[in-house]
Structure 1
Amino acid sequence: MRRPLRPFLAVALTGLLVVLSVPAGAMADGRSAPDAPAPDSDGPGHQVPAGQRIIDLGGIWEFTTDPDTATWGKLPVPGNWDMHDKYANHQGDAWYRRSFDTPRLGDDKIARLHFEAVSYTATVWLNGTRLGTHIGGYTPFEYNVTELLKTDGGPNTLIIKANNDEAIGATWPWGGISRPVTLTVDPAVRIERQHVTAEPELEDGTAEVATMVTLSNASDRERTVRLSGTLTDRAGRTLHSGALRPEPPAGPDVTVPAGSTKTVRLTTTLPKGSHELWSTDRPTLYRSTLTLTDGEELTYALSDRFGIRKIEVLPDGLTLNGERIRTAGFNRVPGDRVYGATEPLSVIRAEIDRMKRAGADMTRIHHVPQSPDLLDYLDEVGMLNIAEISVWGKGASLDPERWKPELREMVHRDANHASIFAWSVANEIKGTEEVGRNFVRTLIDYTRAELDDSRPLTYVSNTFSEIDGPEDEALQYTDFISVNMYRDYTQRLQRLRTYYPDKPVFVSEFSSDGYTFTPDRESVEYASRYDGQIPAELSGVPWVIGASRWTFDDYRSRFQGTSVNQLRGWGVQTEWGGLKRSYDQMRAAFAPVRGLSLARADGGTRITVTPRSAGELPSRVLRGYRLDWRAVNADGDTVAERRIPLPDVTPGDTPVSRDVGWQTNGWQEKEAITEHVGLVDPQGYEVAVADRRLAAPAAPRVSQTVAADGAVRVVFDHVAGADSYRVEATQEGTDTGILSRTVYKDDHGDITGLVNGTRYKVRVVAVSAAGETASEWMAGLTPGADAGPLPPDAQVLVPVADGAVFQWRGGGADHAYAIEVADARSGELIRSWTTSIRGFSRIEDLGSGRQVRVRIRGLRADNTASAWSEWVEARTK
């Protein structure tokens, strides 16, 4: 089925539309197009393989918060100023400056300054000429600077004023140049973008692929070029295209008016058996690579990844490629105090992998446009996502013209991501007021008419409980309902259904943990109050298509109610990357099966998989899954393992059992202390786990101790086979009167209620269902009032270039902190200082490859101080 033609908005230019139908790798007149360099199969989803020269303007820039100062500092770009101690709490204007040489342009070339993202507003000057102001800290923008570059051999001066006054919700307004800045050199006629739609015909197995291609001509005369397109798989092999018919009167030559754009449609139909569909378990991706030629010369090439998949929104559900799915996920607030909003790909991948292992397959990941790196990875791992612009809260401007540019920039950049199954135009605005209803209606109509009519549209409401009829809420204009809920799920959803009986619901935020953010919520020991039961409650509301927990990660904030560490501890992962007990709770709640268990059987172990019931949340058919079983010894080494394929598992099926005869070798049974099984999806993610303890854990070891006023801290190493740890203290010379504390995930335990001036001994006991193993007693700890109270928790020391970022968890009594950094080998003190910054310090200028250690103490307003914390250690980069 061919989609109706739809116009594409051309930024500041008038667009024209032409329709072509060309075979992959050929022109419409049958001649072969010149070959473009192959896109990098491991590179980003969007690439320009030919015709564009990119000059990276990243590196060390001059920086100041006062442009009248005689001396500017230096900061890296990309980066955020509030990652650095000196500017950690700066909010407002800041200036970046650098110089660069004019590249050799040649004839018929256009130079543009391209900014991937500057937060939140950016005003740009080049050589004293103001280029413009961009609003919105998450989407790209660029300026044609061809006529402004210096031609006298002198350097060009680029100045950017960034402002981060506009915070989005309760998240931290990271300020600065968050993503790359480049100078690009292109031919006058280039491919601006393509928008690929690829939908299968499920009945006959074919798929129609169409791409709307926007060409621009920056010259002062009309130009004619030839356009061709090729579809390839990940290995670069051309897909079979089937019969292709040119659509007269269009031919291979495209004429683009001077100073304008033209939009061209290319289509092909893929026959049955020539392609695979994109899904959450098998996210197959392809490429559409376009080339422009002028005569026999290849002048430009552009390539984008896409997936072939079909999303259908039904009155009572959602289907992906014809199968009903009910699934879950997490919101994720980007940015931390090591990288700010400039997240490296390694961090993005690690956190998305953790989300996938916890059953996350569908989410509204956050209420701002996301980085291309993150969206690429969602495509690769198969996580459905609702993409949203940064309109948040009752105080947000609801002038549609204010937000159309950001919406347009997001859709133009992100439309080819298979993971994005819907667009959202706002979060928690005045949806029950006329201004809010008009805003949602206007932006939804604008998106559908001028940007993308191939995806469902929604907005996220938290005012839905206030209405008396469907006409009262902006939800009336959406294709499906998205709501943020933190209480009374069933009752409120049933009432909402009476107003919108033909629209399914996605719960875009949920949690039971409340709005009191104590430091305890930032600990890996934190377990959620009720969140693990909420998916089961939502299972009883069949028109709920999915639910996304708020949030995956703790995040920095200055919003009301935030903890003394400038953190909101909503997450199942701490800001420094530790997985909380609540992660395990949500992993079980989001698992695609109801149960996975291990039990002793004749000669080995019986593994049982219990499917979820039909319609449960989450639930879907599991194809190509397997069981990975292994036995582990006290050193954590695998001594036996098996990989067991599973049949298709359908919701409502009876339990599936498989036996592992691993104990036939007596030495394996004797050596193993734990057996572990994981349910593994086709991508290799372990999405459900179970352990059975066979013997007592390995012996733990006390690594450091801290004596404080009436208390001690015991730091220890985790060991294989332990479910928890019991930290114990007793007076020397006795084994009675033991005081203890149980720890599950942390690497230390604090014991209070000790008598000052008394000598104590301490130990750690590793505990499992199969027994206990204790460390040796460590003696000689004497609490004392002079030592001060227990110190802040020294959490982690993260290596960065020529330094490290130290992160800690403080309490409410501290008004400042003293920090020491020493050489880890010699013990020599390198530096000491005090700071009022909360939760972190970026320790710079330590040199590269240096092993250092850091500790901290809290300073009180009454001039007293806590004990010094334990040391944490790292090697600088």
Structure 2
Amino acid sequence: MYNYFTRISLFYILFLLTANVFSQKNLIINTENREHISLNGQWHYLIDPYENGFYDYRWQERNENDPEAYWNKPVITDPSQRREHQYKNAPTLKVPGDWNSQDSIFTYYEGTVWYQRNFDLPEISEDKHYYLYFGAVNYEAHVYLNGKKLGSHKGGFTPFDFEIPKEILKKNDNFLVVKVDNKRHPEEIPTVNTDWWNYGGITRDVKLLVLPENFISQYSLQLDKDQDILKAISSKKFTVNGYLKLNNSAAGEVSLEIPELNFRKKLHPEADSVHFSFQLKNLKLWSPENPKLYKVKLKLDDSVLEDKIGFRKIETSGDDILLNGKKIFLRGISIHEEIPQESRRANSKADAEQLFGWAQQLNANMVRLAHYPHNEYMTRTADSLGMLVWSEIPVYWTIDFKNEEVLKKAKKQLKEMIIRDRNKASVIIWSVGNETPVSPSRTAFMKELIETGKEMDGSRLMAAALEVNYNEGVNYIDDPLGKYTDIIAVNEYLGWYGGLPDAAQSAKWKTAYDKPLFFSETGAGAKAGFHADKRTRWSEEYQQWYFEETIDMMKRMPDNYTGMSPWILADFRSPRRNHPVYQEGWNRKGLISNEGEKKLAFYILQEYYKEMEEKYDK
């Protein structure tokens, strides 16, 4: 141990101790428009179910310099030397991508896989910062470069980054290793029981960021949530609130420019962050009908960071949801981050375009991205298409609501989701969870998440997908969490998990809160291509009947009914769905099959949404 401490500087020791905390506090956004080297591609891998590369036979974490630690490059200088791992001849996995869909050996695998690749740099500059950025790794990642640990991260759907100390960075043959573990645990977010596939791996983009000495790590530009938007539209004067976070408290002057509006502003942060506001004239507001995005330039020293940002205001007024001061009906659909035809995680722009293309064909103007933050291609694409977004963290079902450490993990994922996407005009709802059982500890847990979300970003609506108890006569929604959410969102399956679809004919709904009512889920399962009498479960006709009755029920809803996002756009993988004929490991509630075929119910919802679009366009 003494030799180890004498070989590295005190600075580097402190870096190792604080790397994980530092990286999330200063999470870098808009990485696509910064100088970077893509580390996507083929990575070597080793499957390690016993975590032999991390622990020794006494189940102690291996010493940093242990040649049998899988983060170290095995070097053989004599044929008598024993090495029980190597990457040179190991098989490869595609990054980004889940491992389950790439080789049948991984289909049901939950455990540790070590990823490894080498990379070179054109040069190493003393006045540059180098960061490793991961769009997401499911679930727990430990990152090592050239035998040194950069940090670790928990959370399978949010980004993270680590700065690389220059003393360990090399121009050639950098040896990068990532330990990826997707095992489920009761004290994690999500927990052990979910209704989706636990895809493991480095599932999103990996980048080596090359940043200047002084740089902007985070920023946001949003319409002032307190301004009267109708007066602003009438006067053509809009108040915008902004925020900048710098890597260096002495970074200097920042120039903000919106060229199309001939707007320029000089900012002089006195510390490493600054809040500011300004007025814009003749602003065209972002909406589904007109998804206007403005090029924004942020200049610090000689570097310019560009983004495309839309400006809009989302709010509630009594029973209504208002977008830019106008009542809006949410013609939604729920989506899992999955390409069903290939049984894999979605991870690219092309994947986002496929999923949103289906939603557009449905006449939807909104998507619920369930049950976790989806990749950034999804929210970027939604911005460009004018698709409204509900984004959610995986606080789901059986979370340990009495555990303070679990709450910290949930808050961390919520913060990482908000930091990444708070400049996306399409995102109008942050959701803190789905179908959580009512109890005092659960309500306190969720209330604290809502307060955290509002503190970070008060410009959007806060929600959670609640459950409903079916009663004879009236279904009364009085979940105590509804006191704190901005809308009352509820999942209902009347006619699938209870009774038959015609039970909807006599159903009545009331809420305990004077807030907009949104049905965040509703649906029934059907095996594509299976046709029978409408009373036959799993037939397309049953699902069609379900949607016909549900839509008729929605037309009789009270005045606070503001939309729905039925479950779900496409069939998706789930280990809970084991019927050997109708499910085969798939949740069949999709309106589109795992082969990409539209089921009969698709056209029922499509027609309803066409009617609602015409109604609200009048």
Q: TM-score normalised by the shorter chain: which range applies?
A: 0.7 to 0.9
Larger gyration radius, structure 1 or structure 2 = 1
Aligned-partner residue type, residue 365 of structure 2: D
For residue 553 of structure 1, what is the aligned residue in structure 2? 570
For residue 462 of structure 1, what is the aligned residue in structure 2? 467
User: Do 2:468 and 2:492's aligned partners in 1 also have CA atoms closer than 8 Å?
Assistant: no
- Determine the C-alpha separation between the residues in 2 that align with 1:468 and 1:529: 21
**2:42 match: secondary structure:** strand
Match for residue 315 of structure 1 among 314, 318, 324: 318
- Determine the C-alpha separation between the residues in 1 that align with 2:270 and 2:598: 57
For residue 239 of structure 2, what is the aligned residue in structure 1? 208
- Determine the C-alpha separation between the residues in 1 that align with 2:345 and 2:141: 16
Tell which deviates more after alignment, 334-343 or 372-381.
334-343
Match for residue 529 of structure 1 among 536, 545, 548: 545
- Determine the C-alpha separation between the residues in 2 that align with 1:168 and 1:282: 41
In structure 1, stretches of 5+ residues that fail to align are: 1-9, 17-44, 233-237, 257-261, 594-616, 623-649, 651-877
The yes-or-no answer on 1:227 pairing with 2:254 is yes
**2:315 match: secondary structure:** strand
After superposition, where does 1:112-261 map in structure 2 within 5 Å?
A: 112-151=131-170, 155-166=173-184, 169-198=194-223, 200=229, 201-217=232-248, 223-232=250-259, 238-241=260-263, 252-256=267-271
Quote the offset at 1:424 in angstroms.
0.8
After superposition, where does 1:634-783 map in structure 2 within 5 Å?
A: 650=618
Quote the offset at 1:308 in angstroms.
2.1
| Equivalent pairs, count | 524
* Cα shift readout 1:342-385 (whole Å, capped 9, x = no counterpart): 43322321321221221211232312101111111111222212
The yes-or-no answer on 1:394 pairing with 2:398 is yes
Aligned-partner residue type, residue 566 of structure 2: R
Greater fraction strand:
1
Quote the offset at 1:569 in angstroms.
1.1
For residue 361 of structure 1, what is the aligned residue in structure 2? 365
Aligned-partner residue type, residue 178 of structure 1: T
The yes-or-no answer on 1:589 pairing with 2:608 is yes
For residue 264 of structure 1, what is the aligned residue in structure 2? 274
- Determine the C-alpha separation between the residues in 2 that align with 1:564 and 1:452: 40
Match for residue 560 of structure 2 among 525, 533, 543: 543
User: Do 1:202 and 1:322's aligned partners in 2 also have CA atoms closer than 8 Å?
Assistant: no
For residue 503 of structure 1, what is the aligned residue in structure 2? 515
Quote the offset at 1:312 in angstroms.
2.2
Q: 1:325 to 1:48 in 2, by over 3 A?
A: closer
Quote the offset at 1:464 in angstroms.
6.1
- Determine the C-alpha separation between the residues in 1 that align with 2:428 and 2:583: 38
**1:82 match: secondary structure:** coil
* Cα shift readout 1:463-500 (whole Å, capped 9, x = no counterpart): 566999998622221111111111166977634x2x21
Quote the offset at 1:386 in angstroms.
1.4
Match for residue 509 of structure 2 among 494, 506, 509: 494
Aligned-partner residue type, residue 230 of structure 1: E
Aligned-partner residue type, residue 74 of structure 1: T
In structure 2, stretches of 5+ residues that fail to align are: 1-19, 54-83, 185-191, 495-502, 531-536
For residue 380 of structure 1, what is the aligned residue in structure 2? 384
Q: 1:338 to 1:452 in 2, by over 3 A?
A: same
- Determine the C-alpha separation between the residues in 2 that align with 1:107 and 1:346: 38
**2:252 match: secondary structure:** strand
- Determine the C-alpha separation between the residues in 2 that align with 1:492 and 1:389: 31
Tell which deviates more after alignment, 309-318 or 60-69.
60-69
TM-score with structure 1 setting the length: 0.56
The yes-or-no answer on 1:53 pairing with 2:35 is yes
For residue 14 of structure 2, what is the aligned residue in structure 1? none
**1:192 match: secondary structure:** strand
Quote the offset at 1:80 in angstroms.
1.4
- Determine the C-alpha separation between the residues in 2 that align with 1:468 and 1:557: 29
Aligned-partner residue type, residue 452 of structure 1: D
User: Do 2:117 and 2:176's aligned partners in 1 also have CA atoms closer than 8 Å?
Assistant: yes
* Cα shift readout 1:81-112 (whole Å, capped 9, x = no counterpart): 11122322222211111122355222222111
* Cα shift readout 1:258-308 (whole Å, capped 9, x = no counterpart): xxxx2223433222xx23221122211113221102xxxx1x322232222
User: Do 1:546 and 1:618's aligned partners in 2 also have CA atoms closer than 8 Å?
Assistant: no
User: Do 1:535 and 1:618's aligned partners in 2 also have CA atoms closer than 8 Å?
Assistant: no
User: Do 1:458 and 1:481's aligned partners in 2 also have CA atoms closer than 8 Å?
Assistant: yes
- Determine the C-alpha separation between the residues in 1 that align with 2:162 and 2:289: 41
The yes-or-no answer on 1:415 pairing with 2:422 is yes
Aligned-partner residue type, residue 43 of structure 2: W
Q: 1:371 to 1:404 in 2, by over 3 A?
A: same
Q: 1:465 to 1:146 in 2, by over 3 A?
A: farther
Aligned-partner residue type, residue 554 of structure 1: D
For residue 440 of structure 1, what is the aligned residue in structure 2? 446
TM-score with structure 2 setting the length: 0.77
Quote the offset at 1:412 in angstroms.
0.4
Match for residue 104 of structure 1 among 123, 140, 150: 123
Q: Which fold has the larger relative contact order, with Cα–Cα distance below 8 Å and residues 6 or more apart in sequence? A: 2
**2:482 match: secondary structure:** helix
Quote the offset at 1:518 in angstroms.
9.2
